[in-house]
Amino acid sequence: MSAIVNRQIILKSRPEGAVSEDNFDLKTGPAPRPGDGQVLVRLIYLSLDPYMRGRMMARKSYIPPFAIGQVLQGGAVGEVVESRIPALPPAIWSPA
């Protein structure tokens, strides 16, 4: 398997007013190999929802805020590209 690049969007600072690129960092590096009981998933779609803006602020809410220096989280659809779980083999996916 060729080297797979892992890209992460990191919250660098809390927005004041409009969100800008300055509030984020892009971290890249090699994707980790899955260990026993793990899978490596290639992200195909990421849901960017309005609630994510609220999580960028440090205030009490129904869900904890994103931490500065941490990867942003969101709902996603992905493809299993490497698996260490026999019941979850890699899938073959071809974009239309």
Which pLDDT belongs to residue 21?
A: 97
Distance (Å, whole) CA 36 – CA 42: 18
Q: How many helices (H) and strands (E) does the chain have?
A: 1, 4
Those residues of the chain that have pLDDT short of 70 are 1-2, 92-96
Which pLDDT belongs to residue 52?
A: 93
Residue 25 token pair: 């960092």
Q: Integer distance in angstroms from the first to the last C-alpha of the chain?
A: 23
Classify domain 5-83 at the CATH topology level: Quinone Oxidoreductase; Chain A, domain 1 (3.90.180)
Backbone φ and ψ for 55, nearest 5 degrees, come out as: -75, -15
Which pLDDT belongs to residue 3?
A: 82
